[in-house]
Structure formats: structure tokens, C-alpha cells
Amino acid sequence: QALNPFVMVMFGATGDLAKRKLYAALYSLYRNKLLHEKFAVIGVGRSSKEPDAFHTYIRECVDQFGRLKVEDEHDWRKFIEHFAYARVDVSKPEDYQILRQAVESQEKKWGIAGNRLFYMAIAPELFGMVSTNLKNGGLTQTSGWKRLVIEKPFGKDYLSAKALNEEIEQTFSEEEIYRIDHYLGKEMVQNIEVIRFANSLFEPLWNNNFIKNIQITASETVGVEERAAYYEHAGALRDMVQNHMLQMLMMVCMEPPSALNMEAIRDEKVKVLRSLRRYQVEEVDNYFVRGQYAEGTINGQPVPGYRQEHNVAPESATETFVAGKLFIDNFRWAGVPIFIRTGKRMAKKMTEIVIEFKEMPKYLYFNREGNLNPNLLVIRINPDEGLSLILNAKRPGTEDDVSPIELEFCNNCGKESPEAYERLFYDAIEGDSTFFTRWDEVALAWKFVDPIRQAWDKAAADTLFSYQAGSWGPLEVERLLAPHGAHWWQVQ
Ligand code: BG6
């Protein structure tokens, strides 16, 4: 149920994110009656656009990328009436008067008493300037609430993130800032807490007495696509590790919150980052491996190497793959290695978390190889969503032929889960920031990542390992796992 009427000002209305995700998410929310009937969206862009052309554009986006397709034209017309367009050059303070008039006229049209959501789907260099211009242009003076939804990247290191935060805090308070990490909007990422804290089965085992290691994988088959201008400077470390990978780690490793409210949950998450062992620049090589894809094949199709991609420097040292071994130095996790890996152009699109439990104190049963598989809990995030618990059992009709069996739950079989952005939009409009990142999380995440970046920025080129497109990354990664008697589990 939607309680809040609102006007959303969407900066970057003709950009890639809006096109692929944002309109589709708004439409799904509308169809599911999760938007208040009094709402308006003002798309902001630099070019001029007639209202009809803007509406047609949104329709194309929904047709192409929407989870829910348009079935009823009458209903579509009712939805699209809520969208207006404002031509604004965000760097020109005077243009904010045009925007202000547009907002006020929509508020009047729909009878909305001033709740304003400013959504920054624009280049990160503009975040600070736009928020200052919003304030100076009087747009943040409203009788209702005001909120800022901001996309990543939030800075490029700790210092730049801090400067950005100080700049936007001139206009929005911490409670009004909703920093998006779209992984937190994913159904199965949110489900991690439920699985852990609503089942008496797991929590007693969820510690270093029973867990041997944790493995978090986010692999993609796509390459850099059209984003080289951004990615060349970001690399996989800033693009995936600083945010999505650490967020998943926090969800898996946090203590139970005292209550299910946003501050209690985020307090526990941030404690994980406080206990996360930070590496010195000189020791990074012992814990992290980086790679870059070379040409190879994906789904039977030849694909170029990273350095041959459009707008990538021929000598580029940007990493497209990162693997790491992390430790959380607290009572619960001391000594448990947490292996992470993420990369582009890998063998499979897959995000999953594997919890590997310790071996039995003594083996009474063996599998055919004379061994016994460990118990595994696999949390599948994307694109398959679900859970598997791998146990050992006797094969029917045999006496002691023990082999792994899989208890499987599928979360999105037969019905599609909402897209991350649907949930995040809804929460931002309703004022729930649980699944958004708080400043102290962002700051600590950068403090962890910065020395790794520094080490790589000054390292010799031979610490960047090449891997074939379509593989699981450089073989060098095994040296992180081998000392712990571990290897990657591929259970899907
Ligand atoms: C984004 C990164 O945050 O996440 C992209 O910038 C990456 O490089 C994407 O492709 C992966 O998201 P998902 O939801 O497809 O796993």
C-alpha cells in the first residue's frame, strides 16, 4: 500500500539507467498499485522534448525493458499522464527556476502537498553541483519531505566520497539521502536476513566453530559494453567490490539486529566493516588477485579482449576481474576466510554465496572417491534465485555408497520476482532507508578498498593476470584458496 503522494524529479531522464530500469520499475509499481494515485514524475534532460515525444520514449523503454508489459491502453494513458519533461541545463543556476515552476505546476495539478524526491541518474561529477543548485533554486524548500536518491559511484576513494558527502549534506541531511546499491534491492539479498534470523537451524552454526569458509561470486558474461569511459577509471574493484560485494558480505556476516528497524540493521552491518581486516599496500598481493579478460568465446561466439574494446586504451591496466580473501576479526568470524570474486566476460552470469561447513570430526562414511563432501548452503541471488542445502545421504539400494544430495528451493520459478529498482523506489518514497547505504558504511568500504587500489596503481604490469573471455578468471586465484584447503564451489 502506498501512503505518500510525491513528485519525483528525475535527473538523467534520457540516460541509460532511466531507459533500462527506472521507467520499467515505475510502471511495475503502478500496475501493482504501489504508487499513490497522486504522483508526478518530471524527467530532466538537456535537449528539448515535447511531452508527446517524452511519453513515446517512455513507452519504448517499458516495451523493451519492462518486466510487466502494457496490456491495457487505457490504463497506460492514465499512467503516462503523470509524466512531464523539463529542459534544464543542470549547470545553469537560472534553469532551476524552470524546474521549480514545473514541480509547482505538477503539485498543483495533482494536489500534492510538497513531497519531493530528487533522483540523480546522472554522471557522478554532477551530484554535488546539482544538489547545491537545488537548494539555491529554492526547490528544497517544501512543506512536505524532501529526499535525494543518489546512484553510485559515490566518490572514487574515501577522500572524494567525503568531499561529496559534505557537499550534499549542505542541502540534504543524512536521513534524507538514499544512496543506492541496487544489490540491496534484490529479493535474495534481502532474504539472507530472513534465512538467517527466522530459522533456528542455521544461526547456532553460523560462526567459526562450524563454518570453514564463505565464497561470494558475482560473475558476468558481458564485457565493458559502452561504458569504457567510466570503467577504465573504475575497474572491477571500484565498480563491484567497494559496493555490491561488501554489501553481500555484510548481510551474511552481521549480528542479529535488536529490532527490524533501519538504524538497528544498518548499525549491525557497519560493525562488520569495522571488524573487516584492512590490508596495507605492501601486503595486498597476499590477499587479492586482479585480472583482465583477453579474447575468447562467450556462448559459442568469439569476443574481443578488453584492450580491443571500443574506447579502451590499448595498454590499459584496468582490472575486469578481482578475487580476494577477506577476514572479519571478531569473535564470530575469527579465522574464517571469506573468498570473493567478481568479473566481466566470465563463464556464466551468476551471483551466489556458498557457505561451506566444516568437516565431520571423524569420517564413518565415504563417497566413491574415498572422501566425504562437506555440507554447503548455497544462496542464489541472480539470475536463479533460491537456496540449496547440500547434505550427504546413502544412495537407495546400496549399503554405504554415500553421495551428496541437494535440497533445493527456487524463489523465482513460476513467478518473476520484482526488480531491485521497484523495491528501492517504493522504499525511498515511503521513507524506509534500510536497504540503502549509510554514510559510515560507504566511508568504511572506501577505507578498505583504497590501499588495494593504491597497491595496484603502483604495481608492475605483471600483477595483472590475463584470463580468457568465457573462463572463470585467472588461475592465479587458486593461490588464495589453496592454503585453506579450499576451492571454488560451482553448484549451479
Ligand atoms: C553495476 C555495475 O553496479 O552492477 C555493472 O556498475 C554491473 O558493471 C552491474 O554489470 C551488475 O548488476 P547485476 O544486477 O546485473 O548483477
The residues facing 408 across adjacent strands are: 388
Amino acid at 96: Y
Q: Is 35 helix (H, G, I), strand (E, B) or coil?
A: coil
Grid cell digits, residue 212: 570453514
Q: Give the rounded distance of the alpha carbon of 303 from its chain centre.
A: 26
Antiparallel, parallel or unpaired: β 338-343 and 321-326: antiparallel
Q: 183 C-alpha vs ligand 1 centroid, how far in Å?
A: 9
Q: What is the pLDDT of residue 490?
A: 80
Q: How many angstroms is it from 181 CA to the middle of ligand 1?
A: 10
Tell me what pLDDT residue 25 has: 97
Q: Which of 186, 188, 220, 423 to mutate to test the pocket of ligand 1 (most atoms within 8 A of CB)?
A: 220
Strands 338-343 and 211-219: parallel
Identify the residue whose C-alpha is closest to ligand 1 atom 14.
Answer: 183
> Are 186 and 21 in contact, with CB atoms under 8 Å apart?
no
Nearest CA to ligand 1 atom 5: 239
pLDDT at 163: 97
Report how far residue 43's alpha carbon sits from residue 244's, in angstroms, rounded to the nearest whole number.
28
Q: Give 372's Cβ-side CA count (13 Å radius).
A: 18
Ligand 1 atom at minimal distance to the Cα of residue 152 = 3
- CA 59 to centroid of ligand 1, rounded, Å: 24
pLDDT value of residue 132: 97
pLDDT the model gives residue 61? 97
Pick left, alpha or beta for residue 109 (phi over 0 → left; psi -120 to 50 → alpha; otherwise beta).
alpha
DSSP H or E segment with residue 64: helix 51-65
The protein residue with its alpha carbon nearest to ligand 1, atom 4, reads 240
- pLDDT score of 369: 87
Give the bridge partners for 390, in sequence order.
Answer: 376, 406
Q: Whose CA is nearest to atom 9 of ligand 1?
A: 240
Query: Does the annotation place 15 within a ligand binding site?
Result: yes
Beta bridge partners of 437: 179
Ligand 1 mean position, distance from CA 244 (Å) = 9
Q: How many CA atoms lie within 13 A of 200 on its CB side?
A: 0
244 annotated active-site: yes
Q: Say how many residues make up the chain.
A: 492
Atom of ligand 1 nearest to the CA of 230: 6
DSSP, res 315: T
Q: What is the CA radius of gyration of the chain?
A: 24
ipTM above 0.95, yes or no: yes
Low-confidence ranges of the chain (pLDDT < 70): 491-492
Catalytic choice (74, 244, 484, 487) = 244
Is 14 annotated to bind a ligand? Reply is yes
Pocket test for ligand 1, best of 187, 244, 319, 341 (most atoms within 8 A of CB): 244
Do the annotations mark residue 239 as ligand-binding? yes
Q: How far is the CA of 111 from the centre of ligand 1 (A)?
A: 38
> Does 16 carry a binding-site annotation?
yes
Q: Tell me: is residue 17 an annotated ligand-binding position.
A: yes
Residues 380, 388: contact at Cβ < 8 Å?
yes
Of 466, 222, 232, nearest to 345 by C-alpha is: 222
**Number of other CB atoms surrounding residue 260 within 10 Å:** 10
348 marked as binding residue = no
Query: Which of the listed residues 239, 381, 382 should we mutate to test ligand 1's pocket, taking the one with most ligand atoms within 8 A of CB?
Result: 239
Q: How far is CA 311 from CA 290, 305, 379, in A?
A: 21, 13, 36
Is residue 128 within a helix (H) or strand (E), and if so which, with residue range? helix 127-136
pLDDT digits (tens, 9 = 90+) for 41-77: 999 999 999 999 999 999 999 999 999 999 999 999 9
In 10 A of CB 138, how many CB atoms? 14
Grid coordinates representing 17 are: 539507467
In the three-class reduction of DSSP (H, G, I as helix; E, B as strand; rest coil), residue 479 is classed as helix
Pocket of ligand 1 (CB under 6 A): 220, 239, 351, 382
Quote the pLDDT of residue 188.
96
User: Looking at residue 401, what is its pLDDT?
Assistant: 84
Backbone angles phi, psi at 88, to 5 degrees: -140, 135
Per residue in 438-469, pLDDT tens? 999 999 999 999 999 999 999 877 899 999 99
- The region that residue 311 occupies, defined by phi over 0 for left and psi between -120 and 50 for alpha, beta otherwise, is left
Give the integer Cα–Cα distance in Å for 183 and 192.
Answer: 12
DSSP run (H or E) holding 464: strand 464-468
Distance 174 CA to ligand 1 centre (A): 25
- What is the pLDDT at residue 491? 59
User: How many whole angstroms separate alpha carbon 307 and alpha carbon 293?
Assistant: 8
